Structure 1
């Protein structure tokens, strides 16, 4: 892709080796020849660096144009293959957005007057779930299913919170769960501010004033006094609900009755984090050989799409369960439920077809050999 830079690197090594050989031929000791070689290497590397930078600046334009062309060609081929489920996925997200806007328009003003934390927590969760669902679709169309998987994980996390908050409406002891959830951002805001203060000057940003940091600290302390010291933990907003000082996300999943999806959550977490297990998932078996993914693939779009759609449906269903129900809203969800199942199956069918074609290709090759 950048042959000039590779060529310059070989030239640097050639000059170093030539200088060493010349020094040895002139009768110099081996240590002196190595020193001369090193000096030559440093000088040649500095000269080559200047030329390499110029070369990259010139070649990068052609590389970018070629890559854009290859990307468009790849995306067109991928879309031809996955057109039906990808289009249906996008339409389902659009249906979800339309449903969300109807609910918000119909109930938002009344919810504001009642200071209805449950409604606004659920609307906020569903809005973010819709946005992330669009991001998943974009990544799938681009050929990045593992990255889509990591974003699908986010929608699953949102679904867990949505289901717990919706259920809390009928729980007299935990009706304040949504308020705890919404206010919990102040807890992390103070911790984030302290980290920001440590590095702001070095990074060229303006630090918060002492007054601003103090206001954040006071807000945090006010909430801890109100909700208890366990509120300071990552999922402290659910401590009272779960009767646990330091709940984990797994605890939340179990309470929301979504622990059956735990395996998918752990799998997607590998793509979010940088552990050694993630390297395994970044390699695929392609026609009998291991390939490390450094770019796009048209395989394995089904799982992230299915996880994202199901989680989005769960978020919107939680809002529907809590909000006032009319026939139009029920029809939105009935339609969405039907086509989520159909679309998930459609993704699976395309992946199965790809797998069958690959198996046939391998058998054909083996037969020729």
Structure 2
């Protein structure tokens, strides 16, 4: 546009060119981006293949550096699967017959915890320590919840399950507020009415404070408006709060988040991380081992036999070994 204006022979031509600029820009923006994207797609396969090759080579180097720790953490995950499966098979018939809500919740929490631990291991192996740390935060929450259920029994489990009606209704109202902007159909009047009826029913049963985020836990904590910290304190895991807050930095967009990274913990100069790194695995890995062992042991403590008692000790020993192994691996040179 500037070249056209410079080549104009008169003021009238310059005015005409200026007047035509919006039309020319609109025409350019309506065609050029799609043409550019089509060209990028044509050439993408070669570039993507090269990037995948480079990442596979990185994973090999990363695994080589942290192999001892990765192998032990993977072993712990497999042991937890087998322990949970054996325990569930043994006690499921009795628990089902008795309508044991605590049993069902602990089994589900441990299964979900194993899934999260596998996600964490995948992130670590692929060089994303900060992402793994953020996922550990979720695993810690599951562990605290499981320990709380074990401590407070069937009534806590029932209230926890019934609180889903509060969460569901509030989520539906949130969605309805933005259906047009989200371009989603939302809920029908009948569906909303049904959700509202469930919401009203649990508030009638438990009181208006039940609508709070942790209202289901209120009778067991002696606080008017309990929160997750209250639960951590109740089960004796509040000493992990500093690590929980640290991991939260990888979930929220705080100033700390954009200035620090586990993946940059061994850099000597200013850098911005936009891809994988083979630094910073120790804390998220050991935290995962601790929480997964706590979660699995909580399940086994519900009704342990001799095999379960042995397995609890095995998990505790392995957790310590995992921490020590990752410290040793961190001393290996960066490949």
Normalised TM-score (structure 2): 0.91
CA contact (8 A) 1:153 1:308 kept: no
Cα distance in 2 between the residues matched to 1:352 and 1:162: 35
In structure 2, relative to structure 1, the CA distance for the partners of 1:20 and 1:349 (3 Å cut) is farther
Task: Tell me if structure 1 keeps the 8 A contact 2:65–2:332.
Answer: no
Instruction: State the match for 2:5 in structure 1.
Output: 20
Look up the match of 2:271.
291
Which residue is equivalent to 1:11? none
C-alpha distance in structure 2 between counterparts of 1:109 and 1:207, whole Å: 40
Q: Relative to structure 1, is the Cα distance of residues 225 and 60 closer, same or farther in structure 2, using a 3 angstrom cutoff?
A: same
Indicate the residue corresponding to 1:166 in structure 2: 150
Structure 1 unpaired stretches of 5+: 1-15, 170-174, 359-369
Q: 1:210 to 1:99 in 2, by over 3 A?
A: same
Q: Distance between the aligned counterparts of 1:338 and 1:85, measured in 2?
A: 14
The alpha-carbon distance between structure 1 residues 31 and 349, as it changes in their structure 2 partners (threshold 3 A), is farther
What do the CA deviations read for 1:59-114 (whole angstroms, capped 9, x no partner)?
22222211211111111111111111111111111110111111111111111111
The answer to whether the 8 Å contact 1:159/1:315 transfers is yes
Shift of 1:160: 0.8
The number of aligned residues is: 333
Contact 2:249 2:257 in 1 (8 A): yes
Answer yes or no: is 1:236 the counterpart of 2:219: no
Task: Give distance in 2, aligned partners of 1:225 and 1:269.
Answer: 35
Contact 2:203/2:210, CA 8 A, preserved across alignment: yes
The 1-side partners of 2:184 and 2:35 are apart by 34
What secondary structure, in the 3-state scheme, does the structure 1 residue paired with 2:72 have?
helix
Runs of at least 4 residues off by over 6 Å: none
User: Which structure exhibits the higher relative contact order, with contacts defined as CA atoms closer than 8 Å and separated by 6 or more residues?
Assistant: 2
**1:72 pairs with 2:52:** no
Distance 2:202 2:30 in 1: 58
Cα deviation 1:229-288 (Å, max 9, x = unaligned):
111111111111112221111111111111111111111111111222211124836643
Partner of 2:130: 146
* C-alpha distance in 2 between matches for 1:285 and 1:340: 23
The 1:321/1:50 distance shift into structure 2, 3 A limit, reads closer
Is 2:155 the partner of 1:176?
yes
Indicate whether 1:128 and 2:107 are aligned: no
Deviations 1:18-71 (A, max 9, x none): 323323xx3549974982894697266656434412211112222221121111
Q: Secondary structure at the match of 1:292?
A: coil
**SS state of the match for residue 66, structure 1?**
helix
Within a 5 Å distance, the mapping from 1:1-369 to structure 2 comes to: 16-23=1-8, 26=9, 28=11, 32=15, 35=18, 38=21, 42=25, 48-169=32-153, 175-200=154-179, 203-282=182-261, 284=264, 287-323=267-303, 325-354=304-333
Distance 2:171 2:28 in 1: 46
Give the Cα–Cα distance (whole angstroms) in 1 for the partners of residues 176 and 111 of structure 2: 31
Structure 1 pair 315–286 and aligned structure 2 pair: CA distance change class (3 A): closer
Are the aligned partners of 2:264 and 2:277 in contact in 1 as well (CA < 8 Å)?
A: no
Per the TM alignment, residue 132 of structure 1 is displaced from its structure 2 partner at its CA by 0.3
Residues 263 and 33 of structure 1, relative CA distance in 2, 3 Å threshold:
farther
